[in-house]
Amino acid sequence: MDKLAPFHHLSTPFLLNPTIFNPPRTQKAPGFTLLDDLGQVKTLNLVKARHAQMIKLSKKSNMDAKGNNLVTYYLEFGDCRSAAMALFASSAQNYHSWSSCLDELRRFGGDPQILELFCEFHGGGAMFDSKVFCVVLEICASLKKLWLGVEIHGYLIKRGFEFDVYLKCALINFYESCWGIESANQMFDEMPEKEDILWNEVIKLNLKNGRWVKALELFRSMQFQRAEANSSTIVKELQACGKVRALNAGKQIHGYVLRWALDSDLSICNSLISMYSRNDRLESARKVFNSMKDRNLSTWNSIISSYASLGCLNDAWILFHEMELSYVKPDIVTWNCLLSGHFNHGSYEAVLVVLQRMQKAGFKPNSSSITSVLQAVTELCVLKHGKEVHGFVIRNGLDEYDVYVGTSLVDMYVKNDCLSSARNVFDNMKNKNIFAWNSLISGYSFKGIFKDAERLLHNMSQEGIKPDLVTWNGLVSGYAMRGLHKEALAVIHRIKSSGLTPNVVSWTALISGCSHNENYAGSLKFFSQMQKEGIRANSATISILLKACAGLSLLHKGEEIHCLSIRKGFVEDVYVATGLIDMYCKAGDFRSAHEVFRRTKNKTLASWNCMIMGFAIYGFGKEAISLFEEMRGVGVQPDAITFTALLSGCKNSVLVDEGWNLFDSMTTDYNIAPTIEHFSCMVDLLGRASYLDEAWDFIQTMPLKPDATIWGAFLTSCRIHKNLRFAEIAAKNLFELEPHNPANYVLMMNLYSMSNRWEDVERLKDLMKNAGVKNGPVWSWIQIDQTVHVFSAEGKPHTDAGEIYFELYHLVHEMKKFGYEPDVSCVHQNIDEAEKKKLLLSHTEKLAITYGLMNTKSGEPIRVIKNTRVCSDCHTAAKYTSLARKREILLKDGVRFHRFSEGECTCNDCW
């Protein structure tokens, strides 16, 4: 560590001792004029000789005048030490000349020599003025000589040195560079006199350190002290107001600008435009623009950028044309503003059009242009265009020096599922930033290539780049999406071990992966763990949790999530609102779903689709079509999902004519090609409506090869109408397409048992046994308060089973008074009728409904969830139960919702 020599002999005036140089002894040539002919020297020794003669013979004023030249000549011969000595020997009258000499000396790497000589001269009793101390403090800051700078500060205080404003600035700059901005602010606060330059300097340092709020506070204090801000400070303060969205502070600075008549300063006005734009005050930005008498290129770029960044793209183009009419030629910045504006607001195809216009105008895209274009190509998933852009990058050498272009190329290839090309670009990048590493690691993770992802993570650390949360979260998401939830959770623990704290994105990635794999219980479990860790959910977390609640039909849990979203202010988020609609629909509370939908502002297509599907699954087909017309009326264009929902509504409500009209309009009115889902809906609709022949013809003539959904829909219709001929054809195809799906075998056994074809029932049982097909577990559940009660056909009986059966016997007796008769055809076992009736009593949905009647308040709806299709007897029994007990019953089976009320069901007995 450099240290000052002991402070002694300080009374001796500073005179440069010639013996320090130890120059060679030379004789002055006759007639030689030293001061005029210094430039004629050819060697370093001659420069030193002339310097010695100058010290002995020249006057002080002449020495000052020649000092700068000496520094230059010493540097030409590479003698930084002597150049530094010459600089100290000179006492030039202004800081500008000192600064120019210092810059030249430092360009040759003279900083260490300057500090060395300063300590040496000081030890020899030299006395320096403030210019020297300013230089030395600046060098201490540059070389991070922490304690030397502090010693100098202490020496100055003990000596009672008079601090001029430049020395004060040097001190606060030193403390900011070596000890942090807080030390610099403390130094500033302790100064009794604060000149205007000092105020501007400390504000600049706070802005440099990202202390935006502190800089704004200093600016306000500065006004109270009647100090004057320079234009550079005002410009930077306005930039800060834009970054932290401090609109009120920006308005106050605008007022200051008007009071001091600074509105003619172009840089200030341009910054005002940007400040208002970043605070979403486009009208105010335009007022500043309109008030400007003079406008330069930066002015036009500022206002065009403002309109483009806020999505007013047409207005941005109008301004662009006005700019050209004003004889101001657009530059590359102008075009890049338009490119980024179109990309940021989803006009990805327009980005490619703007690029073409830009090139026709004679502008060569730079790295910023290419980055926007590559991002647009990534979103459009047009690999061909991405490769063309890559070719342009290679031809113009952009990937050789611009890390952002390289990173965008890696990201483009990753998201276009071309990992080999992404890896090639990555391996050829000279400078890899953390974004490039993260993109490739994420790409491997999402493809499930975890060995390569982990290897990259290891290499990244070896390259000296520390993985950040984005790196780790990419791994968490990859593992979770592949269903490897234990591994994903292990990565979260690795994040903690690395010294980082898993954030809401980390946990949301895990929760989302569970939901993606329909492990909804896992999503809720990990959310509970996330809360224990003290991590607050964001809107994305809420949306995924609502999906989990919808998947499990957990109404009460969904209501809790709804309350949480209200408390956290997420309910206005359109994605959360859509999740709420979906959750309430699937959890059996249609009224709440409809209420949320009506309250949602700025509905997206997904919101409309979700509500239309809600009407469909509840059997409100006409209402679904009415909502579709309302959607068209507000200008929202449907997509394929919209028509899936509409056709589902038609089939559940048996609206044949409406279904045909909608199916035909897909191609004629909306240019949407029907998918297999749409064909399946039409087969189901025709079959439910008893048009089995038409459904058969439809299957034979459809342009797509029938899959399991088509034959499954046809078989279901055959079961409804007890058509064994068509059913056997459908079943044969299903057994080939889905040989291990037990539902198909059960449907056929049900049909055979209805026709008393018990040999065929046994044949199917043998077929299932030989194929290794087993019936999955059959269960129903109901939630009472916070407890879910599960009734399983094969599991342990409910703890209150005796009381439930006792109540059920009474309920059946009541229903028979209203005309109920058990439908024993639902039992596909060849046993006597009395045994069949006993088996019907053990059906899980009956037990769940009965338990709900026993444990809920009178008038409260009963909500039961079943994992398989409800049988015809249970469906009939539920209708009579709703009539006998005057209770609304909502039963969700494996296909749809049934709403029973007053002895009727919304499915119209077609399910």
Tokens at 93, concatenated: 């009258």
> Is the pLDDT confidence value at 254 over 90?
yes
Q: How far is the C-alpha of 441 from the C-alpha of 462, rounded, in Å? A: 15
Q: What are the pLDDT digits (tens) for 187-229?
A: 999 888 889 999 999 999 999 998 988 999 999 999 888 899 9
Per-residue pLDDT, 90: 61
8 Å CB contact between 328 and 300: yes
* pLDDT for the residue numbered 103: 63
Average pLDDT of span 547-573: 92
CA distance 523 to 527: 6
- Residue 795 is classified by DSSP as S
Question: Which pLDDT band, with edges at 50, 70 and 90, does 60 fall under?
Answer: very low
- 379 HSE (CA, 13 A, CB side): 16
Q: What is the pLDDT of residues 871-880, one digit of tens each?
A: 889 999 999 9
- What per-residue confidence (pLDDT) applies to 837? 87
Nearest to 105 by CA among 131, 70, 129: 70
pLDDT of residue 858: 86
Query: What's the confidence (pLDDT) of residue 335?
Result: 97
The answer to whether residue 64 scores a pLDDT higher than 60 is: no
For residue 750, what are the CA distances in angstroms to 334, 595, 693?
A: 71, 40, 22
Amino acid of residue 830: N
Q: What confidence score (pLDDT) does residue 158 get?
A: 80
| The dihedral formed by the CA atoms of 88, 89, 95 and 96, expressed in degrees to the nearest 10 | -100
Rounded Cα distance, 86 and 66, in Å? 9
**What are the distances in angstroms from CA 808 to CA 542, 811, 893?**
40, 5, 21
Res 821: pLDDT: 92
Which of 178, 240, 234 lies closest to 207, judged by CA? 240
Average pLDDT over residues 245-266: 92
Segment 793-798 mean pLDDT: 82
Other beta carbons within 10 angstroms of residue 220's beta carbon come to: 11
Taking 60 as the threshold, does the pLDDT of residue 128 lie above it? yes
**Per-residue pLDDT for 615 more than 90?**
yes
Q: CA quadruple 163, 169, 170, 172: dihedral positive or negative?
A: positive
- CB–CB of 61/34 below 8 Å? no
The whole-number average pLDDT for the span 328-344 is: 96
- Give the model confidence (pLDDT) of 661-675 as tens digits: 999 999 999 999 999
Residues of the chain within CATH 1.25.40.10 domain(s) are 674-776
pLDDT band at residue 235 under the 50/70/90 scheme: very high
Question: Length of the chain in residues, anyone?
Answer: 911
Angle (CA) 410 416 422, round 5°: 25
In this prediction, residue 830 carries a pLDDT of: 77
- Judge whether residue 253 has pLDDT over 50: yes
First to last CA, the chain: 87
What is the pLDDT, as a whole number, of residue 97? 54
Write the pLDDT tens digit of every residue in 6-57.
Answer: 433 333 233 333 333 333 333 343 333 443 455 555 677 777 777 777 766 6
pLDDT (0 to 100) of residue 198 = 93
State the CB neighbour count (10 A cutoff) for residue 146: 16
**Burial of residue 42 (number of CB atoms within 10 Å: 0-12, 13-18, 19+):** exposed
Span 674-776: which CATH code? 1.25.40.10
What's the Rg (C-alpha) of the chain? 41
How high is the pLDDT of residue 32? Answer: 37
pLDDT of residue 122: 67
3-class secondary structure, 784: strand
What is the residue-averaged pLDDT of the chain? 87
pLDDT at 303: 96
Taking phi over 0 as left and psi of -120 to 50 as alpha, with beta for the rest, 17 belongs to beta
What mean pLDDT comes out for the span 697-706? 95
Kindly report the number of other CB atoms within 10 A of residue 147's CB atom: 13
What are the phi and psi torsion angles at 169 (to 5°)?
-65, -40
Q: Which letter, b or e, does each residue of 431-454 get, where b requires 16 or more Cβ atoms within 10 Å of its Cβ?
A: ebeebbbbbbbbbbbbeeebebbe
At residue 133, the pLDDT reads 82
Other C-beta atoms closer than 10 Å to the C-beta of 104 total: 16
Q: What is the dihedral of CA 248, 253, 258, 262, to 10 degrees?
A: -150
Q: Tokens 């920006």: give the residue.
A: 250
Percent of the chain with pLDDT over 90: 61
Tally the C-alpha atoms within 13 A of residue 795's C-alpha that lie toward its C-beta. 13
Task: Report which listed range, 30-39, 108-117, 390-399, 624-633, is most confident.
Answer: 624-633
Q: Is the confidence at residue 725, as pLDDT, over 70?
A: yes
User: What does the alpha-carbon distance between residue 185 and residue 215 come to, in Å, rounded to a whole number?
Assistant: 10
Asked if residues 510 and 476 have their Cβ atoms less than 8 Å apart, the reply is yes
Whether 783 contacts 554, CB under 8 Å: yes
Which amino acid belongs to residue 730?
A: A
Report the SS3 class of residue 863: strand
Question: CA separation (Å) from 632 to 553, 608, 609, 629, 669?
Answer: 30, 10, 12, 5, 12
Residue 864: pLDDT over 60: yes
Q: Would you say residue 647 has pLDDT above 80?
A: yes
So what's the pLDDT on residue 109? Answer: 60
Calpha distance 879→589 (Å, rounded) = 19
Q: Judge whether 439 and 410 are in contact, CB under 8 Å.
A: yes
Mean pLDDT check: name the lowest of 144-153, 163-172, 279-288, 398-407. 398-407
Angstrom CA distances, 621 to 295, 600, 624, 645, 656, stand at 61, 22, 5, 10, 11
Q: Give this prediction's pTM.
A: 0.70
pLDDT at 88: 65
pLDDT at 188: 92
On the question of pLDDT at 466 being above 60, the answer is: yes
- 787: β partners: 784
Question: Residue 72: its pLDDT value, please?
Answer: 72
The secondary structure element, H or E, covering residue 79 is: none
The structure tokens listed for 379 are: 């979103």
Q: Taking residues 78-105, what's their average pLDDT?
A: 61
